[in-house]
Structure 1
Amino acid sequence: MKKLIISLSLLAAFSCKTNPFTGKSTLNFMPNSTVFPMAFSQYSTFLNSNKVISSTNDAAMVKRVGQRIAKAAEVWLDANGYKGYLKDYQWEYNLVDSPEVNAWCMPGGKIVVYTGILPVTKTEAGLAVVMGHEVAHALADHGAQRMSAATLQQIGAAAGSVALQVTNKSQYNELFSLAYGLGTNVGVMLPFSRSNETEADAIGIQIMAIAGYDPAEAPELWKRMSALKGGKESNPLLSTHPSDASRIKNLTQLVPKARAEAAKFGVTSFK
């Protein structure tokens, strides 16, 4: 058990990667060479089993916004000492026919926007809010971070089970599994997810501004999202995302900073 605990501690300590946008070290022992091929394969499978919309104005808009967001990210990274950071990314932007109000970006830059979210985004700038946020998840390696955290969670569960067996207390294994699962999810995994979402908001609003889209549209989009849900919120402790109210407040405060960052790249007027 001591060896296992030491091994886990060393794994956590030496498996950190710096987030270029925040300068913070984050837990990540999943290299791009492992994560990206998995993501690309899953993306292809998804596209093959869903209806991809092409040759429409909306589909063209998705690609246009995606390209501008990706270019803005590259410009920022190059200017801040991270040239080549995106070398393994294979950007792709697809509009998929679905009533779901959602969009996502897989590690490595594979993006899907569902048609169901377009009535909420309304404009190209609104779409840029969504795509900037999703791209930010990929840029900050949030997928790999979640995989790393989940792996440690599983290892911890196994270690606890072994410890109970070694100490002849295996009768408590079911109780431990329940308590451990609830404790790590509510106390670690869910707050971790909410933190990732808040970070993606901050990165995304900055990138969309550099891409030439008005960052003031970000809080407006979330006002529309909140209205769509009738203002109803899930229990904040059990949610994977921050509340709409906190996101609106946070994004409103970030608008001036995003505009100032865009100005560094000569962008002073916005779409």
Structure 2
Amino acid sequence: MNQYPSGQSTGQRRGGLRLWVLLLFAGYAAWYWFSNRSIDPLTGQAVVIDKSISPEQEKSLGLQAYQQVLQQEKPLPADAEASKQVQAIAERLIGKIPQVTDSLAAEHHLQASHIEKSFDWAVTVLQSDQVNAFCLPGGKIAVYTGLLPVAQNADAMAVVMGHEIAHALLRHGAQRMTRGKLEQLGQMAGAASGMDSGTLQTVMSAYGYGSALPYARSQETQADELGLMLAASACFDPQQAIPLWQRMDQSSGGRAPSEFASTHPSAGTRIHQLEALMPKAEAYKAKLCGGAQAASGMH
């Protein structure tokens, strides 16, 4: 004779089914994570990039995004003074990528993959008040005119552009796409297990603050380091990174979100980390600069 009321027995069966659903999803997520895990030679850290996402696919997506931006924004003519200055900075940074990435990989006893060999580099200055720049997978670089007065000089601009180029070299886009797949898997597991939408939203919010946002901030820190080494190796002054980020903080007018709720480190954290990297940047400059002189300034 069943000692439980029928309703309670049904509830237990449903609870057991939900648990099995969650376990199956968790098992698949763990397999997916481990099977796509590797060590990034430039950082020495474990990364997860879906093996089905090739650099060529990233490059194609980057080109599509770049074309969309050019349709929406107004590019400066290539012969404009700002365009020529930004182009010259980009060429110097790009020219140092092989040496810098080889040196960083050697620090971790690994070999650089040199995905930049497949990049089709292009540099555009966009007429906009945005204080921003980007480098898409495949090497499409854009600098907004709103960044020029904040950067003030070629050294600071090289720090920003080096940072953006670093994101592409480190395949941060592919890493975020992979993480997005895992997040979707988690949402599917929650929904399939019968988790109500309010609880699922709470869980995903906690995941964001506890994992996703710190992960995004760590990517920014990685790009800061690689970008600074690129700028220094291309004979720009890495010390200009400090006043740059002080000006970037001022330009936000106090509107930047707290670090805890942001995908980026705070300006204070960034400055502290960059200061700690200065001896390494100066060493890279001494080893790889080769005597070229920095451009006089930005206007």
Compared CA separation, residues 18 and 110, structure 1 to 2 (3 A): farther
Specify the alignment match of 1:108 in structure 2.
138
Greater relative contact order, per chain length (Cα 8 Å cut-off, separation 6+): 2
- Is structure 2 residue 101 aligned with structure 1 residue 71? no
Q: Deviations over 1:180-227 (max 9, x none)?
A: 221121111111111111111111111100111010011110011122
Could you tell me how far 1:250 is from its partner in structure 2? 1.2
Specify the alignment match of 1:31 in structure 2.
54
- Is structure 2 residue 152 aligned with structure 1 residue 122? yes
Compared CA separation, residues 201 and 233, structure 1 to 2 (3 A): same
Could you tell me how far 1:87 is from its partner in structure 2? 2.2
Could you tell me how far 1:44 is from its partner in structure 2? 1.3
- Number of residue pairs the alignment of both structures matches: 264
2:30 corresponds, among 1, 4, 9, to 9
Structure 1 unaligned spans of 5+? 165-171
CA contact (8 A) 1:53 1:96 kept: yes
1:139 corresponds, among 146, 161, 169, to 169
Compared CA separation, residues 12 and 83, structure 1 to 2 (3 A): closer
Q: Deviations over 1:238-263 (max 9, x none)?
A: 11111111111111121111111232
Compared CA separation, residues 152 and 214, structure 1 to 2 (3 A): same
SS in 2 for 1:5: helix
Could you tell me how far 1:49 is from its partner in structure 2? 2.6
Specify the alignment match of 1:153 in structure 2.
183
1-side partners of 2:240 and 2:180: how far apart?
34
CA-atom RMSD in angstroms = 1.8
Specify the alignment match of 2:219 in structure 1.
196
1:260 corresponds, among 283, 289, 298, to 283
- Is structure 2 residue 206 aligned with structure 1 residue 176? no
The one-letter amino acid of 1:19's match is D
Compared CA separation, residues 14 and 83, structure 1 to 2 (3 A): closer
Q: TM-score, normalised by structure 1?
A: 0.91
1-side partners of 2:291 and 2:276: how far apart?
18
Specify the alignment match of 2:266 in structure 1.
243
Query: Which structure has the greater CA radius of gyration?
Result: 2
- Is structure 2 residue 122 aligned with structure 1 residue 98? no
Structure 2 unaligned spans of 5+? 1-20, 295-299
1:18 corresponds, among 39, 42, 47, to 39
Between the two proteins, what is the percent identity of the paired residues?
A: 33
SS in 1 for 2:193: helix
